[in-house]
Amino acid sequence: MPESTRTDLSRARGQLLAELSREVMDERVLDALRRVPRERFVPDDLRSMAYDNLPLPIGYGQTISQPSMVAIMTQALQLGASDTVLEIGTGSGYQAALLSLLAQRVVTTERVPPLADEAKARLAEPRYSNVEVHVSEDSIGWVEGAPYDAIAVTAGAPEVPMELIEQLADGGRLVIPVGSRALQELVRITKTPEGAIRNNLGGCRFVPLLGESAWPDQPSKGGEPA
Ligand code: SAH
């Protein structure tokens, strides 16, 4: 990468982190955001935009989520260092990389096999060695690894899938965008012995979930590569 590009990226990165630190109070989350280079998780031709506070296309009709949304969602998971966390929607692998610095074990599932392969390659670094990437079939989540202390769904859904509440440990948190295809609410469900507690965390817009638990006319696989 040319020196000038590196300088521009580092300036953009500083600005983005300053912006995120106004929305996110959890120092551990901010520290993880500082430590994971987002430019390694976006397509090469979009690297100059890696620190714009925007979602960016990663192929197959999917996106790497907007940094502020990733930050808010990660904070909402209330992770402890000994937690096991499940992410639905590996995509680029960026959020999984952040989660790996905040939890003991990260299980992440992706519906589009080539995206899972690309994410695995990006996550093949010793510091991300606590991340497992799985290609998921029609059913949602990864029952083999349950129960989870936290679950993040990084694609929008019409409602909270019961299958995911079942994969949560007692005291576990599920963070998921739910609503219509055009607009969702970021929701946190905390599982307790007395039932589920729901917190609404604000409006958002994610790419749609695929497969089971998706909107009814959603195709079950991802789009074309480009
Ligand atoms: N967390 C990602 C954002 C990915 S966008 C990142 O940091 O880059 C959402 C991703 O969810 C897409 O890659 C999409 O293919 C995947 N996806 C959609 N439905 C899914 C399902 N049922 N199970 C697993 N992954 C799914």
Cβ(99)–Cβ(106) below 8 Å: yes
User: Given this model, what pLDDT does residue 220 score?
Assistant: 75
pLDDT digits (tens, 9 = 90+) for 115-143: 999 999 999 999 999 999 999 988 899 99
* pLDDT for res 4: 75
At residue 6, does pLDDT exceed 80?
A: no
State residue 147 phi and psi, 5-degree precision: -85, 155
| Across 7-17, average pLDDT | 94
Residues ≥6 apart with Cβ < 8 Å to 64: 38, 41, 42, 55, 56, 58, 91, 92, 94
Residue ranges lining ligand 1, Cβ < 6 Å: 62-65, 88-89, 91-92, 94-95, 109-112, 115, 136, 140, 154-155, 207, 209-211, 222
SS3 at position 183: coil
Confidence check: pLDDT of 7 > 90:
no
Residue 189's CATH number:
3.40.50.150
Active site residue 136: no
Question: Which amino acid appears at position 47 of this protein?
Answer: R
On whether residue 89 sits in a domain, the answer given is yes
pTM of the model: 0.96
How many domains are there within the chain? Answer: 1
Q: Classify residue 30: in a domain, yes or no.
A: no
- Whether 26 is covered by a domain: the verdict is no
Full domain range(s) for residue 138 = 55-204
Residue 11: predicted pLDDT:
95
Which atom of ligand 1 is nearest to 89's Cα?
11
Torsion from C-alpha of 57, 187, 195, 78, nearest 10 degrees:
80
Is the Cβ–Cβ distance between 190 and 199 less than 8 Å? yes
Q: Is residue 199 part of a domain?
A: yes
CB atoms within 10 A of CB 202: 11
What is the per-residue pLDDT for 146? 98
Q: Is residue 185 part of a domain?
A: yes
pLDDT digits (tens, 9 = 90+) for 185-204: 999 999 999 999 999 999 99
Is 79 within a domain?
A: yes
What CA–CA distances, in Å, run from 104 to 90, 129, 219? 17, 10, 34
Q: Could you give the angle at the alpha carbon of 109 between the alpha carbons of 104 and 110, nearest 5°?
A: 145
In-domain check, residue 21: no
Residue 42's SS3 state is: coil
> Residue 219: is its pLDDT beyond 80?
no
Q: According to DSSP H, which parts of 101-226 are helical?
A: 113-122, 162-166
Residue 46 lies in a domain: no
Q: Which atom of ligand 1 is nearest to the CA of 212?
A: 22
Active-site position among 65, 100, 136, 213: 65
